[in-house]
Structure 1
Amino acid sequence: MYNFLWGVLFVLTNFAFFLICYRMFGKYGLYAWIGVMTVIANIQVLKTIDMFGIVMTLGNTANVTLFLTTDLLNERYGPKEARRAIWFGFFTLIMTTVIMQMALAFTPQATDFAQPSLETIFGFLPRIAIASLSAYLISQFLDVHLFSKVRAKFPNTGQLWIRSNVSTGISQFVDSLVFCTIAFAFSELYPWDIWIQILITTYLIKLVLSVVSTPVLYAARSFKVRDEVQ
């Protein structure tokens, strides 16, 4: 029960920061969010938790906000800006991976205490990064494509929830399948039964969070942000 209650607060905090970031910094804040949360999602996913007897990884909330961001960019600024943000997130993750691998290669000083912890987190990052980059590019570009296709059939302002949930629901499944397969399916970290649990719970949690985030998307769309003020 603790993990569930703390998880609710955790999700609300993420959504609140997302809204604040967009409100204060506009489109540039969305780009910054993409960059930061792409890295955070790949760090958090290394931690598994138990909720109601089900094994799941963290990082799902961060991942959902990435789709939330590209949907908002697509809605307000068009698919070109959404695709540009995706490439920005792609670059951010590659940059982080390369720089941290180089940082780990330094010989630590005798009294250094950070190296083992950094190796635990970032030593595993290349495999996670490959899984994430593959899942990220495939699912995000799919999301932008589907969002535009659904918008052609449901263009009304009040139908944003249809555009967002249909495109994200399909894209999130692809994201979970690609990521979990590359990151965990053929590793020694988890047996197959745990891998299947992680895959199913990861998708279901993302799907639920995506639906829950719909009011957040509507709220963000209603903002008059600084970069739109003439």
Structure 2
Amino acid sequence: MMNELLWLCMLMLNFGLITLAWYFWGKQGLFIWIAIAGITANLQVSKTVILFGMTATLGNIVYAGSFLATDILSERFGKKSATRGVWVGFFSILAFTVLMQLALLFAPAPSDEMQIHLVAIFGLLPRIVLASLAAYLVSQSHDIWAFQFWKKRFPGPLWLRNNLSTGVSQLIDSLVFTLIAFLGVFPAGVMVEIVITTYLFKLIVALLDTPFLYLALRLRPPEKADTPGGE
């Protein structure tokens, strides 16, 4: 049960930090968090753990939490700001990956002890990197579109558009990543299992972020927030 308790603690900490970033720095704080989440998730995803009897990657919480940040941007400032946040995250992941791949090309000093560990962490196959970037861009773009779509259809219940947009977007993310990364590598049955288990954890995170969305918007009301004209 230790992993499960740590997972819940990380979940609450993740949402709490997003809320604090929004409260203290508004829109810019969310942009910063999206960049942090993109880099952190791509580091944590290299570690697999057992959660509730299933094998899962550790980056799901931080990555799925970035959808809370874009939903806050979408609700308060609209599609333009949320899309900008997505591109901030995409650029951060891409730049970090390129810089670390370049760092691996340097010949280590005879006394160096870190190269082997850096290779183990950052020596990613191009296919995995492509899968991660494609899944991020497609799923986040859908999340923004769907959030605005449901906001126009059902302008009242915030929880409804939050869960409808994020829930479907997380499924798209799992499908795109798995197909690009593992098609032809694993049998179809294994790929289906990967999609189901990955999506299950992301869906749990998506459902649990709803109270924090309400809290974030209450903590920083419109009169204290940046104005859409600040675009």
Q: Does 1:116 align with 2:116?
A: yes
Matched with 2:15 is 15
Aligned counterpart, 1:94: 94
> Percent of aligned positions with the same letter in both sequences?
44
Q: 1 CA distance for matches of 2:83 and 2:7?
A: 30
Q: Deviations over 1:188-218 (max 9, x none)?
A: xx77655433321110111111111100111
- 2:213 maps to 217
Task: State the shift of 1:18 in Å.
Answer: 1.2
| Cα distance change, pair 199–37 in 1 and its aligned pair in 2 (3 A) | same
Residue pair 1:54, 1:197 contacting (<8 A) in 2 also: no
Q: Could you say which residue in structure 2 is the equivalent of 1:131?
A: 131
Shift of 1:77: 0.7
Return the alpha-carbon distance in structure 1 between the equivalents of residues 219 and 135 of structure 2. 30
1:52 is displaced (CA, Å) by 3.0
Structure 1 residues not aligned, in runs of 5+: none
1:206 maps to which residue?
202
Aligned residues of 2:65 and 2:205 also touching (Cα < 8 A): no
Q: Is the 8 A contact 1:140 1:171 kept in 2?
A: yes
Q: Which amino acid counterpart does residue 113 of structure 2 have in structure 1?
A: F
Secondary structure at the residue paired with 2:108?
Answer: coil
The answer to whether the Cα contact below 8 Å between 1:42 and 1:128 also exists between their aligned partners in 2 is: no
One-letter code aligned to 1:198 = I
- Is the counterpart of residue 40 in structure 1 residue 36 in structure 2? no
Instruction: Tell me the alpha carbon deviations over residues 47-103 of structure 1, each in whole angstroms, 9 at most, x when there is no partner.
Output: 111123211111111121111111110000110101111111111111111111111
TM-score, with structure 1 as normaliser: 0.91
**Cross-structure match for 2:164:** 166
Q: Which amino acid aligns with 2:127?
A: R
| Partner residue, 1:28 | 28
Gaps of 5+ in 2: none
Distance (Å, rounded) in 2 between the aligned partners of 1:109 and 1:143: 46
| CA RMSD, Structure 1 to Structure 2 (Å) | 1.8
The aligned residue for residue 175 of structure 1 is 173
Partner of 1:80: 80
* AA matched with 1:81: S
Deviates more, 1:178-187 or 1:16-25: 178-187
The alignment covers a number of residue pairs equal to 225
* Residue aligned with 2:219, SS: coil
Q: Which residue of 2 aligns with 1:70?
A: 70
The alpha carbon displacement at 1:143 in A equals 0.8
Deviation at 1:223, TM superposition (A): 2.0
Cα distance in 1, alignment partners of residues 47 and 192 from structure 2: 16
